Amino acid sequence: IMILLIGSTGYIGSEFKNQLASIGYDFKTASYSTVQLSDLEDIDFVINASGYVGKPNVDKAEEEKDKCIMGNVIIPMKIMGYCKDMSIPYGHVSSGCIYTGSNNFNEYDEPNFSFKYNNCSFYSGTKAVAEDIVRNCPKSYIWRIRIPFDEDSNPRNYITKLITYSKLVNSQNSLSHRKECVNACIRTYMEKCPFGIYNVVNTNPTTTQEVVELIKTHNLSSKEFDWFDEEEFYKTAAKTPRSNCVLDNRKLLRLGIQMRDVKTALTDSIIRYE
């Protein structure tokens, strides 16, 4: 098996690269901005872990809509087209940010935080559009990841964000342990799971306050955490609506691909964080 990994330098893509190498799979890497049809010759599976992520947060997408559309819509469409034409299975890293609410959304629920509902950030809107496009490839996996974290300090790591931000807002969300969710994504292909959408999140949701309590309990940070109320957050700290949502991961679990309870995964990551 030869795998083409697109976006191997990003926060999620670099973990795909690490795990494919450690497992011993043959793979090549390509940049999302330069990938061509010829790159897919002799390829058995394409993983697209690339995409536009606003830095420091999704507010940046409101200023860089052209880059957001290119990274999150045009490039995935191009890659999907190549895979469809050559009948190559395609794995697309998506996001749970296309939902809002604590309804335990499953893979068959229509995204309710999208351009269609006119209630979303530009970033979330483009991620929902990309899913509509990728679904046109019959041999495709769409892997929805939500607020990644693990024990490795990184500006994209949710734990790093919480101990770094000067002020927080309490919300309930599903989360994804980065190493665990990447392993689950790889396994869906290697174990020949049915093509389709998968919510690749840890079991059960948690709140910002609960994660902060774990951080305090395990002495990861001694700072005094300061909190916004939601109205103040949107008036002073956020330029665009945020997705807060709970995703159902039982489709993945039923296939024997286990994801730890989020509190277990968080506690382990906080204890080993460095």
> pLDDT tens digits for 70-103?
999 999 999 999 999 999 999 999 999 999 999 9
- Which pLDDT score, from 0 to 100, does residue 39 have? 95
Burial environment of residue 156 by CB neighbours within 10 A (0 to 12, 13 to 18, 19 or more): middle
- Res. 196: pLDDT tops 90: yes
- The torsion angles phi and psi of 224, rounded to 5 degrees, stand at -85, 120
Specify the pLDDT at position 80. 96
What mean pLDDT is predicted for residues 16-30? 97
Question: Is 145 in contact with 201 (CB distance < 8 Å)?
Answer: yes
Mean pLDDT, to the nearest integer, of 206-212?
Answer: 98
* pLDDT given for residue 33 in this prediction: 87
Which pTM was predicted? Answer: 0.97
**pLDDT, average across residues 212-221:** 98
Residue 201's contacts (CB-CB under 8 Å, 6 or more residues apart) are 96, 144, 145, 146, 174, 175, 176, 181, 247, 249, 259, 262
Other beta carbons within 10 Å of 210:
15
